[in-house]
Each structure stands twice: as C-alpha cells, then as structure tokens.
Amino acid sequence: MTTSLTEKKCEPCEGKTKAFERGQAVEYLKQTTGWSLSGDAKTISKECVAKNFMVAVNFINKVAQIAEMENHHPDVHLTSYRNLRIDLSTHAIGGLSENDFIMAAKINELPIELKK
C-alpha cells in the first residue's frame, strides 16, 4: 500500500537528491489536485481568490504553520487583497522534490472560503 503524501514528512534534501524530471513531476502532480506545473518543470503553483483579505491572510498563516512544521517553505503571493498564489520548489536542488508535493497535499487539506 502506498503512503499518502499527507501522511509523509518533508525530508532535508540539500545535496542528497536530484530535482525531479518532468515525468516524475507529472506523476506526483496527479496526487495534488489544483496545482499546476511550470513550463520548466521546476515549480508547482496553486492560485485561488479568497472571499476577502482576512480570509486570505488567515490562510497564509495556516500555510506558514505547516511550512514551519515541515521545514519546507513556499513562496506566497497575495495581490489585489484576496488573490493568492502559492509556489513550491526545492531551492536547494533548483527544482522539484517529493517535499514540494507533500506540502501541496497538506496545503490542499486546509480550508479556505473562496470568492463566490
């Protein structure tokens, strides 16, 4: 039985692993609904429009808590007071690793009230 990404923990990977090839990233992306792969296959991103500014900020704070627990930190963008974009990449290896998809899966579990 395969372990779900949400059950895994991010592992330090500085110099211990190579960045995913596009094919690996595409396979992992199937487990992270709503995320998209960048053209160079070095980043995954998710975008949404929160109900309002405070909902967006509260969501960012929840993402920050997970990032600290996993010691794997995304780039978080908040524009026009409620437009969110989260980018994940493993900077130490210059591309994607399993850690990025673990974080994406855990972020997907966070509730957020979206603009209707």
Q: What is the pTM of this model?
A: 0.93
pLDDT over 60 (residue 1): no
- 15 pLDDT band (50/70/90 cuts)? low
pLDDT of 14 > 80? The answer is no
Tokens of 87: 């980018």
Q: Kind of pairing, strands 36-37 and 75-79?
A: unpaired
For the domain spanning 19-108, the CATH number is 3.30.1360.20
Instruction: Report the pLDDT value the prediction gives residue 13, as an integer from 0 to 100.
Output: 75
- Separation between Cα atoms, residue 59 and residue 53, nearest integer Å: 10
- Residues 77-113: pLDDT tens digits? 999 999 999 999 998 899 999 999 999 999 999 998 8
Quick one: pLDDT at residue 99? Answer: 96
